[in-house]
Homo-oligomer: A and B are copies of this chain.
């Protein structure tokens, strides 16, 4: 039982990694930098993408792949900013995987795209274990979640290249959130990970 289960899981991860390498080669051939955006549900991934598009769309070609269990809402928000977006709906799966992203890539015209954002399913655990072919992982930590999240959900923060603190406007209302304590937790996990 358990040994067969572990073998199957290792097989799934190996197949995922092979597909992720193909995705990355595909992106590299098209000169596209891909960023995998991860966080808890509602930490502000789509809001950050909306603001980033507003700031960069004059200078860079941007496209977005959206991951959610259900609804096209996030893709619609991105398209409203004038940027192409493909929505993946996973049904009940708690993370994107490389085959899902591969199918989405083939629905995007990468001609003229410099920067591809992949918004993962909101989940501070599972998405960290599935390579999608991205070049960088960016994780959001929102102030209302508490400064202890890196200590309590370490797998995700260890996998991150950059951690962004969102909803900082709520800091005056959440005096228990100490950005320096969050940073100390992060450094304990991942050395000088930028925060």
Q: Chain A interface (Cβ within 8 Å of chain B)?
A: 1, 4-5, 8, 11-12, 15, 40-43, 68-71, 73, 92-94, 121-126, 129, 142, 144-146, 148-149, 151-155, 167, 169-170, 173
Q: Indicate whether A149 sits within 8 Å of B42 (C-beta atoms), given known contacts A69-B155, A124-B122, A144-B144.
A: yes
With a CB–CB cut-off of 8 A, which chain B residues contact A145? 40-43
Closest CB in chain B relative to A141 CB, distance in Å:
9
The answer to whether B11 touches A152 (Cβ under 8 A) is no
The answer to whether B148 touches A73 (Cβ under 8 A) is yes
Closest CB in chain B relative to A156 CB, distance in Å:
9
Query: CA of A12 to CA of B4 in the docked complex: distance in angstroms?
Result: 11
**Count of chain copies:** 2
Q: Contact partner of A170 among B73, B125, B148, B173, CB < 8 A?
A: B173
The answer to whether A92 touches B149 (Cβ under 8 A) is no
With a CB–CB cut-off of 8 A, which chain B residues contact A68? 152
Q: Contact partner of A70 among B41, B43, B154, CB < 8 A?
A: B154
Closest CB in chain B relative to A50 CB, distance in Å:
13
Q: Indicate whether A153 sits within 8 Å of B92 (C-beta atoms), given known contacts A8-B5, A15-B1, A124-B123.
A: no
Query: CA of A104 to CA of B83 in the docked complex: distance in angstroms?
Result: 50
Which residue of chain B has its CB nearest to the CB of A70?
A: B154
Closest CB in chain B relative to A164 CB, distance in Å:
16
With a CB–CB cut-off of 8 A, which chain B residues contact A152? 41, 68-71, 73, 122
Q: Indicate whether A146 sits within 8 Å of B92 (C-beta atoms), given known contacts A8-B8, A152-B68, A152-B73.
A: no
With a CB–CB cut-off of 8 A, which chain B residues contact A1? 11, 15
With a CB–CB cut-off of 8 A, which chain B residues contact A167? 144
Which residue of chain B has its CB nearest to the CB of A155?
A: B92
